[in-house]
Amino acid sequence: MLNRQRLRFLLSLCLVGLLTVTLVSCDSDGGNEDTGPTFQNNFSFEVTEGSSSSTTVEGDRTTLEGFSFFFTGTDPESGDEIFVVYFTEEDEIGEASAQQDLFGFLVRERLRPRTGTYNLVSFESDPDLQTDMGMMLIQNIGEFGMEGGSYGWYLGEAGTVEVTRSSDDRVDATIRADAKRVSFSETTVDTTQVEVTGQFSAQGAESFVGFSPFAP
């Protein structure tokens, strides 16, 4: 379980950066299917401002798109089993991925899940990530600290992750989540409730990229 002490440690690391550690990917529950020559490891999420699963009012919409990868194996920092999906702006995963204008992850503290529906919970709620999943997306717009520039993140608070395909080299899922968007501009901090919906097809990777869920 991701206890409060460990969460605080992870949060402190987020401001320092992300490290890359190369490991051999491990097998887990599920089948083994070829991705095929037409497979594209894309993700697409629609963010609707002022909307959630408990309301019918919808505001501005933003689309976040890019590429997705997954790692399943052992977290070298904790020694625990882990499954993590990375969302990147470029079609690559590595140390530089965390410095892109769009980066994120979906994580649980067990190996690759079987097909089925899983709860998505907040990192702030002292979650049990062995049974549930946590999600965070980070977005930069322009140059932070300059006019028109901003930095922010989407922190999943509640929802579902429906895994529709799970194999050694590919994981597909759809996501529906209530989330909190926290944005920093040159002079202001803004917090808005949003709904995130969409899907991803993640390609298997042999590299674990350390990550640190940061919460306000």
The encoded tokens of residue 23 equal 């490991």
Nearest to residue 9, comparing CAs of 135, 179, 123? 123
- Considering the domain boundaries, does residue 215 fall inside one? no
Domain that holds residue 133: 4-14+23-30+42-209
Q: Report which secondary-structure segment, H or E, holds 10.
A: helix 4-14
pLDDT, tens digit, 9 for 90 and up, residues 12-66: 333 333 333 333 333 344 444 556 667 899 999 999 997 554 444 455 888 999 9
- Nearest-Å Rg of the Cα atoms of the chain is 16
For residue 177, is it within any domain?
yes
- In the chain, the number of structural domains is 1
For residue 36, is it within any domain?
A: no
Do the bridges between strand 134-141 and strand 116-121 make them parallel or antiparallel, or are there none, so unpaired? unpaired
Whole-angstrom distance, CA of residue 152 vs CA of residue 161: 23
- Which residues of the chain form beta strands (DSSP E)? 20-22, 42-49, 61-74, 81-88, 102-108, 116-121, 134-141, 150-167, 170-184, 189-204, 207-209
Q: Is residue 152, in this structure, part of any structural domain at all?
A: yes
DSSP assignment letter at 2: -
Domain annotation covers residue 214: no
Q: 35 lies in a domain? A: no
Residue with tokens 């590919």: 170
Instruction: Kindly report, residue by residue over 114-148, the tens digit of the pLDDT.
Output: 999 999 999 888 888 888 999 999 887 555 444 55
